[in-house]
Amino acid sequence: MGEIFAYDFMVRALLAGLVAGVICPAVGVFLVLRRYAFMADTLAHVSLAGLALGMILGIFPSLTTLGVTLAAAVGVERLRATGRLHGEAVLALMLSTGLALAVVLISLVRGFNVDIMGYLFGSILTVSPADLLLILVVGAAAMLLLFLFYKELFFISFDEECARVAGLPVDRLNMLFILLVALTVSVATRVVGVLLVGALMVIPVLTGQLFAGSFRSLFRVSLVLGVTVCLCGLLFSYYLGTAPGGSIVLLAAAIFLLTQLFIAARRAWQRRRLVKGEEKLPLVKLGERTSGP
């Protein structure tokens, strides 16, 4: 296993996977609580337009991807804040528009060797040193913001109206949160790809909800699961020759399914044990007193 560290591309992929495994569930917890999980997929599809734009302009694609994703996040929040469109309608509008723009821009890319499949489904070979540096910087900035505004984001995720009455700047916090989602998407697309980034942000959180007893424990469990599936998925991809993004998401889905089966089996065993215990209780006829004081 130690031979994988002899390859620079694997070291870069593991470091990028570690960052993505931490930041995706950390932000995904708040997405799931707010029932806004579709946001990650929307911004991920829009980021594909940023990739094509970078290729056309001859600019570092990761920078244009980050810029376009942040701009789309601001647009989504502005449209949602007006109240004229429902949140899901805004996401559907942005997703379809962003994807159409990406298709048109990609069709204009001529003479460039663009690994579209790698960007769609993730590829460890596409994580360059410059990409890794950007991932580390963006990931650190996102986690710092999440740490500084943890309590406020927790408050508005559970009860936005109550937070507004309490005097919190809810509109600014919503904008901050949507920018955090955009930063997370721009980091994770280099690891799992555009089409699978939403799953990495949601599935570990859903698994944690099955047995976490509090928000704090849910947050911790989600981070542990995110790091585990990212690193193990990359290792499986290396040894089995499979797509890294698909390997990571399939591993996360397998853990979720096994957890569901384990909990269902445990509940069934507890019910059978309870029934057997009731069968062993002595039957007492009506009007008959048992011995004892």
Which CATH number covers residue 181? Answer: 1.10.3470.10
The answer to whether position 263 is within a domain reads no
Mean pLDDT highest for which of 69-73, 128-132, 208-212, 249-253? 249-253
Q: Is pLDDT above 80 for 44?
A: yes
Count how many domains the chain has. Answer: 1
CA dist 97 and 105 (Å) reads 12
The answer to whether position 247 is within a domain reads no
The answer to whether position 246 is within a domain reads no
Q: What is the pLDDT of residue 88?
A: 75
Mean pLDDT highest for which of 50-54, 117-121, 140-144, 166-170? 140-144
- Which residue's entry shows tokens 């870069």? 12
The answer to whether position 288 is within a domain reads no
The answer to whether position 224 is within a domain reads no
pLDDT band at 293 (very low <50, low <70, confident <90, very high): very low
The answer to whether position 283 is within a domain reads no
The answer to whether position 231 is within a domain reads no
Residue 114's domain comprises 2-197
The answer to whether position 119 is within a domain reads yes
pTM: 0.82
